[in-house]
Amino acid sequence: MNLLAGIDVTAGALNAYDQVLSVVQNNVANSSTPDYAEQTQNLVPIPFDISDGAMGGVQAGEVTSAQNTYLDQAVRNQTVLLGQAQQGVNSLTALQSVFDVTGQSGISAALNNLYTAFSGWAQSPTDSVAQQSVISNATDVAQAFQQTAANLDTVAQNTTNQIQDTVNQVNQLVGQLQGFNQQIMAGDTHDAGLEAQVDSTLDELSQYVDFSALQQPDGTYQILMNGQTPLLIEGQQYQISYQPVAPSSDAAYPSAPPTAAIVSSSGAGITADTTGGQLGALLNIANTVLPSYIGDGNQAGDLNVLAQQFADCVNGLLTSGNISDGDPTDGVAATPGVPLFTYDTSNATNVAASLAVSSTITPDQLAAIQPATDTTAEVSNGIALALSQLASPQNSSQEGDLNGASISFSSFYGELAARVGNDLDTANSDLTVQQTAVAQAQNLRQQVAGVNLDQQAALLLQVQQGYDACSKFLSVLDELTSDVIEMIDPSLTT
Amino acid sequence: MSATGLTGRLAMASERMDRVLDGLKIASPEALDGCAGLLELACQELAGNFGGPTAMAGETAIGDVQALAAATGLRHNIRQARRLLNHAYRFHARWAQLLGARTGGYLRGGQAASVPRANRLCLRG
């Protein structure tokens, strides 16, 4: 080795170690920066071969971030699910407050009071006070349906606003990332502070939507929503937008409320793919949960179905009866009953909101008399009795039809309220699991980051053993607990 | 076994499940080992030491609301634990797959190669 070559090698090594110190200094300076990933300087050996003059030594290699893309993505995947669960709980809590299940107020209480009024009227069919009580309580029922429909409309409007806000938030965060990409493209590479800002922004974005962030060879980040819709490529941002979509004119219910759609910058619909994060949860509420109550292009909505079936049942009974007897000897015909309730017959998704007591009916027009048939005699309070039996139906003509099952109107309403309650229970459970899952993913990231391949392989073997053991015991415990539950209450099956 | 006894055992098992969930949050190999031990104890408490669940069939626990609530809560925690355990395992398995693909490429069937382990040579003179 000649003297100059030796000096070169020494100088190269000093230069390399200088860069190592620089990286260490950077780590210390950024130690309190949120999301900062400690960096290491690789020292790359230079070939040593006397025959062709290669002098060996070391030189500084690429700065490698210990914060692996995979590890970050694993944490973000759980954060997406956490955002989704959190939003699900928030939205369903708001929805649950619309349905009173205590029986003290709302539709449930109004129905019970009307049944009581029918019962009183059945005992004194010609009593004007009893008749007025029926009209008054029927008005309360109609108002309770209107109020519930209005409250659901408010929830729907709030959901729409939240979708718009979330879309704006996504576009704003991607705009920030676009700025970081432009800095990187301008040569600001390997800046740990900038990387920390990028990570922090990506973490925030993961609350709202599901996406993958791929770092390109030039250091910029490519963001794909739902793994396929471009949001950011190099210095170009692609904004998403929200659009309300009214049912088509040939839909089964063309006047139904609109559904929510998310559209990519190219105009393509990406609603179906958008299931994760807060946006995914909001779309589920707007396009699946709420329409099951208030309707959409394909369904009338169960609240409207209940309102219509109840009104039709009461009206059907009243119009089958007579207000007063006729007198065949004098040639006076009986006076047939008139409907109690009215509603918007042109729009099945507007029945609950438009349900009202007929403005033309007076208390003395309530038809209590069940006319005689070929096989039965006239019953002076037959219709009033049949109406009072709606509380405890004696046959299917006094019941509602929920998805093909005959059910009392009170139970029908109870099912609607229970559906929200069950959904909220599931959402709360998901939220608890996801909160732990995010903490778990963060712990796992710390455990794996910086572990060498040897340790990594050993770690997987250890985890496999622990997983197998835990999995086996969990299965046994689950089975035992299910057996215990079945023993305590045999009616419960798992 | 009285209903109170069953409720007590379910409560004890639930307490262990809470510790299992704490362990799964960490999900290190040591934590998983600890979880397996706790789960084994919970299984024994619920069945082994008391002659199996069928022995409870004729007990006064039937229809006991408190025992039912405790058992339902326990089952809920068991299912949460299962989800967390699966998360942790998938995390390591996918990470190993990625490392395998990056270090050893893909095998003929398209699956990632396993993570290579360094061979060490020991020389004695």
CB contact under 8 A, B29 and A459: yes
pLDDT over threshold 90, residue A24: no
pLDDT band at residue A82 using 50, 70 and 90 as cut-offs? very high
**DSSP annotation string for B23-82:** HHHH--HHHHHHHHHHHHHHHHHHTGGGT-GGGGTTSTTTT-HHHHHHHHHHHHHHHHHH
What range defines the domain where residue A481 resides?
Answer: 457-494
Q: Which of A238-252, A316-330, B9-23, B111-125 has the lowest mean pLDDT?
A: B111-125
pLDDT tens string A396-428: 888 888 888 889 999 999 999 999 999 999 999
Chain B contacts of A465, Cβ < 8 Å? 29, 32-33
- Using the 3D structure, point to which of A38, A66, A94 is the last residue of a domain: A66
pLDDT over threshold 70, residue A59: no
pLDDT band at residue A70 using 50, 70 and 90 as cut-offs? confident
Does residue A476 lie in a domain region? yes
To the nearest whole angstrom, how far is the Cα of B124 from the nearest Cα of chain A?
23
Higher-pLDDT residue of A43, A278? A278
Q: How far is residue A74 CA from its own chain's centroid?
A: 22
pLDDT band at residue A491 using 50, 70 and 90 as cut-offs? confident
pLDDT band at residue A4 using 50, 70 and 90 as cut-offs? low
Report the sign of the C-alpha dihedral through residues A173, A213, A27, A450, in that order.
positive
The average pLDDT across A72-94 equals 94
pLDDT band at residue A60 using 50, 70 and 90 as cut-offs? very low
Specify the pLDDT at position A63. Answer: 37
- Using the 3D structure, point to which of A66, A87, A110 is the last residue of a domain: A66
- Using the 3D structure, point to which of A14, A31, A66 is the last residue of a domain: A66
Specify the pLDDT at position A171. Answer: 98
pLDDT over threshold 70, residue A454: no
Does residue A151 lie in a domain region? no
Chain A contacts of B31, Cβ < 8 Å? 466
Chain A contacts of B83, Cβ < 8 Å? 433, 437
pLDDT over threshold 70, residue A7: no
Nearest CA in chain A to B31: A466
Chain B contacts of A466, Cβ < 8 Å? 29, 31-33, 35-36
The average pLDDT across A266-294 equals 96
Q: For residue A309, give the nearest of A380, A415, A381 by alpha carbon.
A: A415
Where do the structural domains in chain B lie, given as residue ranges? 3-104
The average pLDDT across A15-27 equals 51
**Dihedrals φ, ψ of B23, to 5°?**
-65, -40
pLDDT over threshold 70, residue A103: yes
Does residue A300 lie in a domain region? no
CB contact under 8 A, B91 and A460: no
| In chain B, residues 39-68 whose CB comes closer than 8 Å to chain A | 39-40, 42-43, 46-47, 53-54, 56-57, 59, 61-64, 67-68
pLDDT over threshold 80, residue A21: no
3-class DSSP state of B92 = helix
Task: Report DSSP state, residue A46.
Answer: P
pLDDT over threshold 50, residue A252: yes
Question: Which of A73, A481, A482, A483 best tests the B interface by mutation, with the highest count of B CBs <10 A?
Answer: A481
To the nearest whole angstrom, how far is the Cα of A434 from the nearest Cα of chain B?
9
Does residue A11 lie in a domain region? yes
pLDDT tens string A348-372: 999 999 999 999 999 999 999 998 8
To the nearest whole angstrom, how far is the Cα of A82 from the nearest Cα of chain B?
13
Specify the pTM. Answer: 0.80
CA–CA distance, A154 with A171 (Å, rounded to integer): 26
Does residue A27 lie in a domain region? yes
State whether residue B108 sits within 8 Å of chain A by CB: no
The average pLDDT across A246-252 equals 95
What domain count does chain A have? Answer: 2
CB contact under 8 A, B29 and A463: yes
Nearest CA in chain B to A430: B80
Does residue A418 lie in a domain region? no
Pairing of strands A58-65, A39-45: antiparallel
CB contact under 8 A, B71 and A473: no
Q: What tokens appear for B101 in the block?
A: 């693909």
pLDDT over threshold 80, residue A139: yes
Tell me what the pLDDT averaged over chain B comes to: 78
Q: Which of A170-179, A290-299, A408-417, B87-96 has the lowest mean pLDDT?
A: B87-96
- Give the contacts of A372 (CB within 8 A, at least 6 positions apart): A378
User: How many Cβ atoms sit within 10 Å of the Cβ of residue A266?
Assistant: 9
Does residue A272 lie in a domain region? no
State whether residue B112 sits within 8 Å of chain A by CB: no
The average pLDDT across A424-441 equals 92
CB contact under 8 A, A470 and B64: no
Query: Which range among A185-189, A297-301, B31-35, B48-52 has the greatest average pLDDT?
Result: A297-301
CB contact under 8 A, A429 and B80: yes
Specify the pLDDT at position A447. Answer: 81
Specify the pLDDT at position A3. Answer: 53
Question: Which of A487, A491, A494 best tests the B interface by mutation, with the highest count of B CBs <10 A?
Answer: A487
pLDDT band at residue B50 using 50, 70 and 90 as cut-offs? low
Tell me what the pLDDT averaged over chain A comes to: 86
